[in-house]
Structure 1
Amino acid sequence: MVDFFIAQYRHASNIQIILEFLAFVFGIISVVLAKKEHIGVYPTGLVSTIITVYLLYKACYFGDMTMNIYYSIMSIYGWYKWKVHKNAMELQISYTNAKEKRIGFGFFILTILITYFVYDFFDYTLEIPNYIDIFTSGIFFTAMWYMALKKIENWTLWILGDCIAVPLFAYRGLGMLSLQYLIFTILAIIALKEWKKTLNKSKVML
């Protein structure tokens, strides 16, 4: 088991190991802060995603790379929205309404199409893991947008996407990323419960 996590780094450069470690740490910190509704989720997430974009480009995982570029952009958007409107009612934890569900589904489909064409642009031969990557990209894209709006469904989507990503990265031999997404899954489940409690408390106070 230990060998599975360290084997991939035996021939890796020191800079790659350092970058992956930093992306791992900042990614975990970001999810923990998101669970607590702390605005620090965005700057820490930004560090993680920017590093990950570079690492995934080097590994030719263009679908994941595209999503991390989007995460970086959404981190800036979410950072601004949470900071400027942190006391606004529209940014209180809530469930999505019918319109937001439709928009989210539209983002999901659009992301799948864009990610597919990203692979096509790089003339990459698609295999089953790549199609799974494309599917999870749509899930994560929508989850990130819902998080910026503080919608509870963002955690449901993160859990779904993370559960798919764990075996996907394990299959690719990326043990550390697989472990990271396993931790993400656990944190997302905890966060979902905490956000629901917060929402229920706010309803009682109204």
Structure 2
Amino acid sequence: MIDLLFSQYKDYSNLHIFLEIIGVIFGLISVWCAKKDNILVFPTGIISTTIFIYLLWEWKLLGDFTINIYYSIMSVYGWYHWTRKKEGKTEFPIANITKNEKLWAIVIFVLTSIGVVLIYTFFDKFTSWTAYVDTFTTGVFFVGMWLMAKRKVEHWIFWIVGDIVSIPLYYYKGLTFTSLQYFIFTIIAFYGYIEWKKTLNNSLQKS
């Protein structure tokens, strides 16, 4: 069983394996903080995505590389957005997605997917089915990260969909630790959605 899961690493450098594990640990901490609506989701997330930016560039996984650059940028935006206060109260608490944001979500998904297609086409990387799946998951994760930065409950749905698809995808790519990370992400995202819904319902009842 161990050989089945980790045999892909026999040709990896110790540095890359170590960095992947560290990136996974901080990624898990980040998602757990997101579940708890804790601002530490962003600094811990930035550590994880920065590590993966380096690794994914080394491994020539351009779609995933692009996602992590975007994550880092949106983490800075989200960090600022979550800390904004108005008259001593959080200016942007947990909320449901609006009709206008739904339209923007569609636009972001479409434009992101087109962008990934162009990148893969330019680098002649449409040589495997994984490129097509990457296109889909990149669009899903771009929307999910944008909605998380805006503190919308529905961002968890996008994480769940993207995480489920990513579990077998990353294992196929030879990144077992990252695949396991997405398996745990899926579980945390499920409970995160329930917890955020409960928080939102409680705040609506008090208002």
Partner of 1:111: 112
Question: For 1:123-142, what aligned pairs fall within 5 Å after superposition?
Answer: 123-142=124-143
Q: Which amino acid aligns with 2:64?
A: D
Q: Which amino acid aligns with 2:192?
A: A
Preserved contact between residue 95 and residue 152 of structure 1 (Cα < 8 Å):
yes
For 2:25 and 2:128, locate their aligned partners in 1 and report how far apart those are by CA, in whole Å. Answer: 30
Partner of 1:186: 187
Q: TM-score, normalised by structure 1?
A: 0.95
For 1:79 and 1:128, locate their aligned partners in 2 and report how far apart those are by CA, in whole Å. Answer: 35
For 1:134 and 1:36, locate their aligned partners in 2 and report how far apart those are by CA, in whole Å. Answer: 30
For 1:171 and 1:14, locate their aligned partners in 2 and report how far apart those are by CA, in whole Å. Answer: 20
Q: CA deviation at 1:127?
A: 2.2
Q: Which amino acid aligns with 1:125?
A: F
For 1:85 and 1:4, locate their aligned partners in 2 and report how far apart those are by CA, in whole Å. Answer: 50
For 1:88 and 1:73, locate their aligned partners in 2 and report how far apart those are by CA, in whole Å. Answer: 22
Partner of 1:175: 176
For 1:191 and 1:125, locate their aligned partners in 2 and report how far apart those are by CA, in whole Å. Answer: 35
Which deviates the most, 125-134 or 31-40? 125-134
Partner of 2:17: 17
Partner of 1:26: 26
Count of residues paired in the alignment: 205
Q: Which amino acid aligns with 1:88?
A: T
Q: Which amino acid aligns with 2:90?
A: A
Partner of 2:152: 151
Q: CA deviation at 1:61?
A: 1.1
Q: TM-score, normalised by structure 2?
A: 0.94
Preserved contact between residue 4 and residue 175 of structure 1 (Cα < 8 Å):
no
In angstroms, what is the RMSD of aligned CA positions? 1.3
Preserved contact between residue 8 and residue 174 of structure 1 (Cα < 8 Å):
yes
For 1:161 and 1:114, locate their aligned partners in 2 and report how far apart those are by CA, in whole Å. Answer: 18
For 1:46 and 1:116, locate their aligned partners in 2 and report how far apart those are by CA, in whole Å. Answer: 26
Q: Which amino acid aligns with 2:3?
A: D
Q: Which amino acid aligns with 1:79?
A: W
- Matched position secondary structure for 2:11: coil
Which deviates the most, 152-161 or 1-10? 1-10
Q: CA deviation at 1:169?
A: 1.3
Q: CA deviation at 1:107?
A: 0.3
**Percentage of matched positions with identical amino acids:** 46
Q: Show structure 2 runs of 5+ residues with no match.
A: none
For 1:195 and 1:45, locate their aligned partners in 2 and report how far apart those are by CA, in whole Å. Answer: 19
